[in-house]
């Protein structure tokens, strides 16, 4: 029985016959009508298929059937289907209901129909339609709600990704690496891109618009500020080391750079960093007393081909030094344990490391009831093999040999030949058994030691394995090697660097090299880092001990330790232990690249950009120039000399194979020029003058030896010429003159002087500005005299223009002091404006003006106005001077000069602006008006005098007539 049929049968028995309930809608149709309507509805929906779970075919069929044969919307059917409503199942239930229900309906329809015949009934199709619409609306509402939520989540994720990407770019441009402190501090201030860190401020990406910072944000900002201060202090400490390094380089003396760097960070609470510097100094044979191998001591062997004799010698030395460092670390560990357990451990016998090891062994394997002690073999009441192994572990092989010889007769007969074997191993140069003993040793090892590891003494197995380099494929002995340092020492003791020819080693075990060990370090080290089993600086030490220097720097650089990574790279480059790529293999943007595919390496994940694991790349290169450039851009503007000290280090790679060395020198020169141009620190290339007049070489000239160019003087001149060609216009005049003088560009010296004088004609001349202009005039005269004394040949045109501009500058000064007679005389001394010439002379002057220097022609309008103003003021003074006898002559001469100036200005077509002509005309009309006014007064005076004379004569004539 279907669910619908069961529901119908139960509904008929809910009410007793004759009962009625208010509020319940009544059916207007009988069950027969319901059945017939249901049958029609079933036929209309018979073609509906399962959409949500049945696939696209069901969706197409259901949609087509609904659209063609029913009143149900196809889109609604789609929504119902995708929300899990099984339309085909519902149709089959309706069909089954229509086939099985009539019998039951005929026997039970009377009572319900009679009891509800007077109540309004809702047709079943209407009810189903309403229910369907309700479901559709609910589905649509739920879909919209989910769509809005998904859209918001996608938008947030997108913003987060974009911010992270932009933040990474900004951090890269700032040169702070990926340090957590820098990333957090970026929330307060962010900077845009510049070639050397010239920042352009951008909006605060994480600035809150909802009020102030909370307590956690404030504490985080304070912590970031503290970290920034510490980083700056560390950078300043490292700066002093780099300066000292370059000073020793100029003297061509060895410099213990690693010990110097260790001394700068010794005050910090960074035990791992200090230990790493100690390890590196031990690896490279740099002692604390100041002795060091020298610059590029390891470059030739390290850059040589694999399995070449030179490379094997360098790697063998690194292996020996790394083993010795681990042995000293173990000896220090034994001393620490004994000092902490003074009451429990009693060191007896002759003072020395052998007595300490004996006490250490007794404490660990007897007093502490170590379960391993039952498997350990005793010789003369002591754990012989354990003591031998720990003496070897502490680097005291002579003590171990002495112990073996002392206990030889107390040992079992089958082990008595060990003392002889051990003596041969200790006395061999490469710590290998001679060929005549190796066969017997291997036979004995395979017979007694090899298969007795699980039940026998594991330290005995370890000692025999070290002597004969047996079972190299087994890298670990769990009961013996309990710490990372133990494992590293054991592996370094097993590896051998064998040249391709002339090797004394043979057999299957000869091929375990430092390169193989390095691959294991990368393989297991990545997993240990992910699981948190090892600290990052300890892993960095492993990479150093396996001569994977480029990978070590790459790892440290990406591990929020950019400052330390840069200076470790400097130390390694100084000794020649860092490969740099040539122009063909280097990446456009990344620092680390692999030789196999020339793809950038991401040291953080130890994968290349193409997804190839780093340990599969044969050779890794470090772009040392880009590493330095990104570091110095943090402070190149605030301390340019210190930045140049770092740039000089690029030339350390001048001896790189092939063309790489020349490329590194060129990169050094290019970066020097970029630093000076970017910071405008031209004083670094300019010579200075001592008090006695002697020339002091510039900073760059003193340091040019560090760059290792073939011809230092010529290279500096070329660099100065490039700097002079690109010198900015706002460079101080003195620096420009010195720069052009060093570059031999003497005509540009005069051009710079003339331009400065020309510009000064526009500057105001009151107060401090007037004093500055006077200083400029004095400075120009001093420099010109200096050039003449030095015999510098300059062009006559430039010299003439300089003299004329000086006179014009003097005229401007006299004009500002209201001394117009001297101002007009200074202008006439230039012979530029023909004030006292006739018309042909004025015409010739206008023609000659075409050949005047541009620095004068672009200021001629101001000169003409200044001259006309001087003529006007002198005319006004002559007008007001009633006592001077030559007043009329002076006024006539000024009028003539005014006419000549106006005529000259009219001949300078297209050189003057309309405003200039208007000003000149204004001054000219004022002078004419003054003259006309004076003439009018003179005529009026003469007229009055004539009338008075006539009156006087008439009076005298009248008197004479009357008297007669």
H or E stretch at 622:
strand 620-622
The DSSP code for 446 is I
In this prediction, residue 621 carries a pLDDT of 92
| Rounded distance between C-alpha atoms, residue 883 and residue 891, angstroms | 14
Q: Give the number of other CB atoms < 10 A from CB of residue 406.
A: 12
Per residue in 77-136, pLDDT (tens digit) is 565 566 566 666 666 666 665 555 454 444 444 444 444 444 456 788 888 888 888 888
User: Nearest CA to 877 among 818, 826, 827?
Assistant: 818
> Residue 218: pLDDT band by 50, 70, 90 thresholds?
very low
Contacts of 578 (CB under 8 A, 6+ apart): 549, 550, 553, 569, 572, 622, 624
> Residue 351: pLDDT band by 50, 70, 90 thresholds?
confident
Per residue in 839-853, pLDDT (tens digit) is 888 899 888 888 888
Q: Most confidently modeled of 168-172, 178-182, 598-602?
A: 168-172
> What's the mean pLDDT when you consider all of the chain?
77
> Exposed, middle or buried: residue 442 (CB in 10 Å: 0-12, 13-18, 19+)?
middle
Provide the b/e sequence for 907-921 (b: ≥16 CB within 10 Å): ebeebbeeebeebbe
User: Nearest CA to 44 among 125, 100, 103?
Assistant: 125
Q: Which residue has the higher pLDDT, 755 or 13?
A: 755
In this prediction, residue 553 carries a pLDDT of 95
Interhelix angle 712-725/660-679, nearest 10 degrees = 40
Per residue in 687-742, pLDDT (tens digit) is 776 666 677 888 888 888 899 888 878 878 888 888 888 787 778 888 888 888 88
| Rounded distance between C-alpha atoms, residue 386 and residue 369, angstroms | 15
pLDDT at 753 over 70: yes
| Rounded distance between C-alpha atoms, residue 572 and residue 657, angstroms | 17
Q: The tokens 């090891």 sit on which residue?
A: 357
Percent of the chain with pLDDT strictly greater than 90? 26
Contacts of 31 (CB under 8 A, 6+ apart): 101, 105, 109
Stretch 755-777: mean pLDDT: 71
Per residue in 280-335, pLDDT (tens digit) is 999 999 987 878 899 999 999 999 998 899 999 999 999 999 999 999 999 999 99
H or E stretch at 608:
strand 607-608
> Residue 963: pLDDT band by 50, 70, 90 thresholds?
very low
Per residue in 466-522, pLDDT (tens digit) is 999 998 888 889 889 988 899 999 999 999 998 876 544 544 445 789 999 998 998
The reported pTM is 0.66
Q: Give the number of other CB atoms < 10 A from CB of residue 382.
A: 16
What ranges in 704-745 are assigned the alpha helix state H?
Answer: 712-725, 733-743
Contacts of 775 (CB under 8 A, 6+ apart): none
Q: And the tokens for 376?
A: 């350990």
The DSSP code for 166 is H
Sequential DSSP letters for 28-93: SS-HHHHHHHHHHHHHHTTT----TTT-HHHHHHHHHHHHHH-SS-HHHHHHHHHTT--HHHHHHH
In this prediction, residue 586 carries a pLDDT of 85
In this prediction, residue 71 carries a pLDDT of 42
What ranges in 695-795 are assigned the alpha helix state H?
Answer: 699-703, 712-725, 733-743, 746-760, 768-789
User: 3-state class of 681 per DSSP?
Assistant: coil
| Rounded distance between C-alpha atoms, residue 718 and residue 666, angstroms | 12
| Rounded distance between C-alpha atoms, residue 647 and residue 630, angstroms | 11
In this prediction, residue 736 carries a pLDDT of 84
H or E stretch at 947:
helix 914-963
Judge contact between 241 and 233, C-beta under 8 A: no
Contacts of 660 (CB under 8 A, 6+ apart): 580, 581, 582, 653
Q: Which residue has the higher pLDDT, 461 or 683?
A: 461
Q: Give the number of other CB atoms < 10 A from CB of residue 540.
A: 25
In this prediction, residue 35 carries a pLDDT of 60
In this prediction, residue 767 carries a pLDDT of 47
Q: And the tokens for 638?
A: 């605030």
H or E stretch at 4:
helix 3-12
Sequential DSSP letters for 195-253: TTS---B---TT--SSSS--HHHHHHHHHHHHHHHHHHHHHHHHHHHHHHHHHHHHHT-
User: Nearest CA to 623 among 533, 669, 554?
Assistant: 554
Q: How many helices (H) and strands (E) does the chain have?
A: 39, 6
Span of 398-402, 444-448, 675-679, 941-945 with lowest mean pLDDT: 941-945
From the centroid of its chain, how far is CA 541?
25
Q: Which residue has the higher pLDDT, 819 or 169?
A: 819
User: Nearest CA to 74 among 89, 56, 59, 84?
Assistant: 59
Q: Which residue has the higher pLDDT, 665 or 891?
A: 665
How many CA atoms lie within 13 Å of 754's alpha carbon, on the beta-carbon side? 25
In this prediction, residue 254 carries a pLDDT of 94
Per residue in 882-905, pLDDT (tens digit) is 666 677 888 888 888 888 888 888
Stretch 946-952: mean pLDDT: 52
| Rounded distance between C-alpha atoms, residue 125 and residue 121, angstroms | 12
Contacts of 137 (CB under 8 A, 6+ apart): none
Q: The tokens 């809005």 sit on which residue?
A: 148
Judge contact between 550 and 578, C-beta under 8 A: yes
Judge contact between 262 and 278, C-beta under 8 A: yes
What ranges in 303-417 are assigned the alpha helix state H?
Answer: 309-340, 353-362, 384-393, 397-406
Judge contact between 606 and 526, C-beta under 8 A: yes
Q: And the tokens for 872?
A: 């006007």
Nearest-Å Rg of the Cα atoms of the chain is: 51
| Rounded distance between C-alpha atoms, residue 325 and residue 318, angstroms | 11
In this prediction, residue 656 carries a pLDDT of 92
In this prediction, residue 42 carries a pLDDT of 56
Q: In whole angstroms, how far apart are CA 397 and each of 253, 258, 431, 734? A: 36, 29, 11, 71
| Rounded distance between C-alpha atoms, residue 629 and residue 198, angstroms | 13
User: 3-state class of 15 per DSSP?
Assistant: coil
Per residue in 251-294, pLDDT (tens digit) is 999 999 999 999 887 665 557 888 999 999 999 999 878 788 99
């Amino acid at each position: 029985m279907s669910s619908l049929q069961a529901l119908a049968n139960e509904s008929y028995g809910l009410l007793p016959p004759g009962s009625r309930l208010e509020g319940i809608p009544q059916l207007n149709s009988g069950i027969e009508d319901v059945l017939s309507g249901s049958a029609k509805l079933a036929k209309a929906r018979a073609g509906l298929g399962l959409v949500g779970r049945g696939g696209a075919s069901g969706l197409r069929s259901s949609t087509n059937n609904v659209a063609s044969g029913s009143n149900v919307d196809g889109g609604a059917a789609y929504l119902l289907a995708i929300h899990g409503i099984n339309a085909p199942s519902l149709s089959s239930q309706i069909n089954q209901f229509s086939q099985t229900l009539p019998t039951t309906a005929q026997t039970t329809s009377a009572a319900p129909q009679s009891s509800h015949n007077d109540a309004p009934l809702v047709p079943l199709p209407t009810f189903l339609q309403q229910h369907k619409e309700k479901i559709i609306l609910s589905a649509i509402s739920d879909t919209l709600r989910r769509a809005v939520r998904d859209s918001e989540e996608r938008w947030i994720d997108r913003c987060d990704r974009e911010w992270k990407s932009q933040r990474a770019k900004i951090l890269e441009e700032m040169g702070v690496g990926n340090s957590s402190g820098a990333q957090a501090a970026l929330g307060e201030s962010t900077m845009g891109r510049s070639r050397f860190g010239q920042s352009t401020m951008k909006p605060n990406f994480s600035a809150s618009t909802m009020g102030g910072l909370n307590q956690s944000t404030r504490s985080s900002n304070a912590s970031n500020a503290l970290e920034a201060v510490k980083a700056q202090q560390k950078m300043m400490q490292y700066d002093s080391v780099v300066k000292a390094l370059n000073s020793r380089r100029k003297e061509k003396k060895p410099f213990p750079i690693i010990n110097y760097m260790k001394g700068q960070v010794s005050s910090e609470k960074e035990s791992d960093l200090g230990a790493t510097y100690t390890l590196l100094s031990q690896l490279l044979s740099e002692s604390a007393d100041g002795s060091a191998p020298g610059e590029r001591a390891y470059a030739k062997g390290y850059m040589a081909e694999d399995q070449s004799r030179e490379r094997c010698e360098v790697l063998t030395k690194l292996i020996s030094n790394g083993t010795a460092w681990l042995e000293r670390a173990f000896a220090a560990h034994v001393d620490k344990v004994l000092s902490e357990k003074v009451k429990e451990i009693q060191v007896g016998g002759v003072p020395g490391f052998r007595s300490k090891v004996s006490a250490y062994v007794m404490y660990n394997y007897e007093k502490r009831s170590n379960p391993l002690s039952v498997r350990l073999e005793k010789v003369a009441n002591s754990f012989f093999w354990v003591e031998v192994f720990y003496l070897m572990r502490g680097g005291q092989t002579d003590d171990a040999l002495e112990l073996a010889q002392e206990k030889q007769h107390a040992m079992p007969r089958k082990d008595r030949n060990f003392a002889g074997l051990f003596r041969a191993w200790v006395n061999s140069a490469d710590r290998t058994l001679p060929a005549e003993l190796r066969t017997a040793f291997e036979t004995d090892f395979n017979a007694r030691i090899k298969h007795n590891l699980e039940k026998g003494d594991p330290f005995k197995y370890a000692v025999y394995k070290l002597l004969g380099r047996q079972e190299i494929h087994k890298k670990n002995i769990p009961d013996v090697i309990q710490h990372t340092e133990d494992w590293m020492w054991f592996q370094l003791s097993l590896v051998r660097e064998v040249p391709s020819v002339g090797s004394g080693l043979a057999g299957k075990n000869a091929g375990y090299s430092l390169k193989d060990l390095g691959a294991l370090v990368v393989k297991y080290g990545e997993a240990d880092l992910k699981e948190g089993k090892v600290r990052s600086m300890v892993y960095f030490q492993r990479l150093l001990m396996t001569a994977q220097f480029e990978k070590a720097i790459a790892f440290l650089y990406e591990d929020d330790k950019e400052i330390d990574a840069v200076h470790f790279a400097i130390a390694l480059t100084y000794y020649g232990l860092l490969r740099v790529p040539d122009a063909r293999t280097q990446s456009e943007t990344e620092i680390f690249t692999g030789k196999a595919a020339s793809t950038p390496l991401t040291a953080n994940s130890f994968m290349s950009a193409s997804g190839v694991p780093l340990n599969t790349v044969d050779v890794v290169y470090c772009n040392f120039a880009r590493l330095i450039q990104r570091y110095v851009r943090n402070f190149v503007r605030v301390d340019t000399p210190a930045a140049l000290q770092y740039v000089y280090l690029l030339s350390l790679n001048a001896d790189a194979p092939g063309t790489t060395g020349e490329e590194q020198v060129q990169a050094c020169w290019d970066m020097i020029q970029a630093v000076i141009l970017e910071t405008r620190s031209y004083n670094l290339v300019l010579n200075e003058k001592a008090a006695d007049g002697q020339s002091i070489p510039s900073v760059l000239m003193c340091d040019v030896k560090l760059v290792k160019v073939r011809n230092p003087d010529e290279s500096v001149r070329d660099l100065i010429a490039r700097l002079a060609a690109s010198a900015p216009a706002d460079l101080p005049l003195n620096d420009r003159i010195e720069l052009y003088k060093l570059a031999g560009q003497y005509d540009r010296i005069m051009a710079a002087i003339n331009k400065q004088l020309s510009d000064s004609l526009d500057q105001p001349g009151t107060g401090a500005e007037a004093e500055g202009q006077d200083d400029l005039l004095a400075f120009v005269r001093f420099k010109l005299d200096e050039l003449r004394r030095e015999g510098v040949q300059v062009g006559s045109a430039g010299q003439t223009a300089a003299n004329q501009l000086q006179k014009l500058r003097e005229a401007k000064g006299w004009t500002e002091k209201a001394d117009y007679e001297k101002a007009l005389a200074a202008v006439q001394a230039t012979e530029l404006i023909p004030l006292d010439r006739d018309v042909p002379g004025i015409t010739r002057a206008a023609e000659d003006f075409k050949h005047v220097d541009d620095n004068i022609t672009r200021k001629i309008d101001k000169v003409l106005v200044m001259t006309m103003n001087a003529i006007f003021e002198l005319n006004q003074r002559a007008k007001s001077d009633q006592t001077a006898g030559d007043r009329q002559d002076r006024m006539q001469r000024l009028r003539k000069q005014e006419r000549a100036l106006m005529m000259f200005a009219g001949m300078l077509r297209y050189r003057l602006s309309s405003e200039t002509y208007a000003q000149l005309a204004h001054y000219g009309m004022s002078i004419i008006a003054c003259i006309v006014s004076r003439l009018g007064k003179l005529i009026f005076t003469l007229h009055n005098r004539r009338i008075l004379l006539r009156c006087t004569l008439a009076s005298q004539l009248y008197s004479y007539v009357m008297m007669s």
